[in-house]
Structure 1
Amino acid sequence: MKKEHTTETDLFKILDIMDETGIKYYLDGGWGVDVLTGKQNRQHRDIDLDFDADFTDDLLKKIHDIGYETVTDWLPVRIELWHETYGYLDIHPFIFDADGSAKQADLEGGFYQFEADFFTTVPYQDRQIPCISQKAQLLFHSGYELREIDQIDFQNLKSLE
């Protein structure tokens, strides 16, 4: 049976791995919301990371070497992986520009654009964690029918205002 939730311990293990690689990254998704709010607010199926696309091969080698298996490969948009101990990891290659903005490939061959203020670093559990900003997270939680977990994330993001 596959591990269905990632824990804070799993999160810290993945962040440690990312820090060891030296690859620029930002925490995204539900764990990103929880880091912004300063506490875990719900269970998380996966850990979402946006990372420097120039290092896709290096990152994939590193995480495959520690036992992750690719579950979904939608490169250049995203790759979902699974590890029996650490659970699911969803990685998204970003192309970072000198001005701090970035873009990510979309499934139609174009790009999503991300402003420089979509990226931040916040303190969480005695660490400084690079993550997607509240502004970006609120934008990402709009324009679609929110699932229950998205509603939880949205309310937690709004509580920061």
Structure 2
Amino acid sequence: MEAGDVIQVLDALDAAGVRHWVGGGWGVAALAGRQTRAHRDLDLNVDAEDLDRGLAALGLLGYVTETDWLPSRVELRAPGDRWVDVHPVAFDSAGNGRQHDMDGGFFEYPRGVLVRGLIGGRVVGCLSARQQRLFHNLGYEHRPQDVHDLAQLDQLEAGVNPGPGNFSS
């Protein structure tokens, strides 16, 4: 996934009225304000109430379901080897979110972990550095891209090469 592909997806979701936030590697890039590595896919959190509209908008861009693990996530693929991994998040009246995990539990999105960053000069909703770190430390063996992303988060949190991320949404 290139930055232009990401922006195309986000623009389509905006046009469909879908609330969304970038996570994973592109989420770290958004916090840094620049692409820091190559990305296979776009990890995207969407408001669970908007999921059907979001999937329809992505379908218009040629994305089709490759792997359906709903209610936890659904992975979509489009021509050109473009991938989007959609994670539905249900929000309560206080603004706290929950995403089903694959084992019957939940991932928590406390109010305040949805911030903004930049991708290709475009302001995007994304997960905070704190939330990104939490998800990178869920007990799985880190791949090279995870090690890279954690190092980027270390730099951002230490104020080394600070990006524009984490400004209020």
Q: Distance in 1 between the 2:118 and 2:53 partners?
A: 27
Where in structure 1 do 4 or more consecutive aligned residues deviate above 4 Å? none
Cα pair distance change 1:71/1:124, threshold 3 Å: closer
Instruction: State the secondary structure of the residue aligned to 2:94.
Output: coil
Q: Distance in 2 between the 1:114 and 1:77 partners?
A: 14
Deviates more, 1:146-155 or 1:85-94: 85-94
1:19 aligns with 2:14: yes
CA contact (8 A) 1:10 1:86 kept: no
CA contact (8 A) 1:119 1:131 kept: yes
Q: Distance in 1 between the 2:51 and 2:143 partners?
A: 30
Instruction: State the secondary structure of the residue aligned to 2:65.
Output: strand
Say which of 70, 75, 78 aligns to 1:80: 75
Say which of 138, 143, 157 aligns to 1:147: 143
1:135 aligns with 2:130: yes
Cα pair distance change 1:98/1:56, threshold 3 Å: same
Post-superposition shift, 1:124?
4.3
CA contact (8 A) 1:25 1:51 kept: yes
Post-superposition shift, 1:145?
2.4
Instruction: State the secondary structure of the residue aligned to 2:56.
Output: helix
User: What corresponds to 2:116 in structure 1?
Assistant: 121
Instruction: State the secondary structure of the residue aligned to 1:44.
Output: coil
User: What corresponds to 1:39 in structure 2?
Assistant: 34
Cα pair distance change 1:26/1:43, threshold 3 Å: same
Post-superposition shift, 1:86?
6.5
User: What corresponds to 2:91 in structure 1?
Assistant: 96
- For structure 1, the 5+ residue unaligned runs are 1-5
Deviates more, 1:67-76 or 1:83-92: 83-92
Amino acid at match of 1:28: G
TM-score by length of 1: 0.90
Identity %: 39
User: What corresponds to 2:152 in structure 1?
Assistant: 156
Q: Give the root-mean-square deviation of aligned CA atoms.
A: 1.5
Instruction: State the secondary structure of the residue aligned to 2:87.
Output: strand
- For structure 2, the 5+ residue unaligned runs are 158-169
TM-score by length of 2: 0.86
Instruction: State the secondary structure of the residue aligned to 2:99.
Output: strand
Instruction: State the secondary structure of the residue aligned to 1:145.
Output: coil
Q: Distance in 2 between the 1:69 and 1:62 partners?
A: 11
Give the number of equivalent residue pairs.
Answer: 156
